[in-house]
Structure 1
């Protein structure tokens, strides 16, 4: 009971942190000085932006939400929890290391070490969360509802992630890349909010993810 309560609380706080973080980053991106859809989301956090503080607070809040969500996952989901933990660390690095103006990335733009660190950490964080969706989709520790949420998230995220990867390699800075990045981040955020909310509500009602042996014990009591 105590463990279930802790997981429910972690899930609830994960949802709160993610919602607050997403709101702060959205405000920084929309109100910041970036050149519209062609800009990367990270440009809201450069030193010259008046909303860099809000952007970093949002990013660190999202990192906290990933750690909390990792702790809220059902027992036996160690691989998914580990991926979310790695994503949280990469998110912290992404928020701590600021890219230069325009957040340039290879192979079409000259970059600095900070640009490479920031860009690599941002890509790693997003990739870790998408992989966590796939792991949960095939995890026997996850119940049907959790797997369904992961399936929808992965089905939406994977094609957009492929577009982002191809745009980075073949097109470079463009409206296609900027909009694809935004769509992918929205999908990841919605998946995190939905998963956190689901875990909090399921734990609250006592109808949590199944544990191996629980169903058998119910049948034997009947």
Structure 2
């Protein structure tokens, strides 16, 4: 029997489910990121300037591709949350992030994705913008939660630390730029960089967890089987 991140024991079937969840999360992050990238680069608008969400405005083919990609990313976050159940704070943050990303895909903004304080907004603009901000913020806080948790595997903690150290200042710069100058080239580049960090973190985390369980070993203890203590027979003199 294998040991969980809590130190208890689980059946091998549960181990396999965790591995499959992690692998599916990695695959979903690649699929979703590819769809969003195609919509942003090939679709209408500048590949670097403006908000990424502007690619989801309208009823054409590329807006649909963009929204489908966001849904795929949302599903990957939910799957990763299932694979990270022992790190409860991170799991719940990822559930919130996935749910918020789904709302962001379901409620598109208007052309230009206006946000306060520089532009007049509607309810749909606020819902879309708020959901997008919540999704990204919860992903960044999930990185911090994994790094902070003592039950997290060492490899995942290192990955979360590097990702959080990169994402936190970029997030702060985006917020400051949005308040001071609004959307534009600076915000567009920083937003794309932040989304790239989150996507890579989700992908690599899923791969690390899946590979650990595929080798039938505890991703925390790095051992294949929890050995039972045995009693030695007394030596005869």
Give the TM interval when normalised to the shorter protein.
over 0.9
Structure-2 separation of matches of 1:221 and 1:155: 48
In 2 relative to 1, CA 33–92 (structure 1 residues): closer, same or farther, beyond 3 Å? same
Deviations 1:109-134 (A, max 9, x none): 11111111100000100000000000
Displacement, 1:35? 3.3
Displacement, 1:220? 8.1
Q: Aligned runs of 1:24-43 on 2, under 5 Å?
A: 24-43=35-54
Q: Aligned runs of 1:6-25 on 2, under 5 Å?
A: 6-25=17-36
TM-score, normalising length: structure 2: 0.87
SS at the partner of 1:103? Answer: coil
- Of structures 1 and 2, the larger Rg is shown by 2
Displacement, 1:209? 2.7
Among candidates 162, 166, 169, match of residue 179 of structure 2: 169
* Cα RMSD (Å): 2.1
Name stretches of at least 5 consecutive residues in structure 2 with no aligned partner: 1-11, 233-237
Structure-1 separation of matches of 2:121 and 2:218: 48
Match in the other structure for 2:137: 127
Among candidates 141, 148, 163, match of residue 158 of structure 2: 148
1:54 aligns with 2:37: no
Match in the other structure for 1:67: 78
Is residue 199–residue 208 contact of structure 1 (8 Å, CA) maintained in 2? no
Structure-2 separation of matches of 1:149 and 1:193: 11
Among candidates 11, 15, 28, match of residue 4 of structure 1: 15
1:94 aligns with 2:86: no
SS at the partner of 2:149? Answer: coil
Displacement, 1:97? 0.2
In 2 relative to 1, CA 220–87 (structure 1 residues): closer, same or farther, beyond 3 Å? farther
Match in the other structure for 2:235: none
Displacement, 1:208? 2.6
Structure 1 stretches (4+) deviating beyond 4 angstroms? 214-222
Displacement, 1:36? 4.0
In 2 relative to 1, CA 9–45 (structure 1 residues): closer, same or farther, beyond 3 Å? same
Deviations 1:84-105 (A, max 9, x none): 0000000000000010000011
Structure-1 separation of matches of 2:151 and 2:140: 18
Deviations 1:21-75 (A, max 9, x none): 00000000001111342221001100155401101110110111001000111x5
Is residue 51–residue 184 contact of structure 2 (8 Å, CA) maintained in 1? no
Among candidates 186, 193, 209, match of residue 196 of structure 2: 186
Q: How many pairs were matched up? A: 219
Give the structure with the larger helix fraction.
1
TM-score, normalising length: structure 1: 0.93
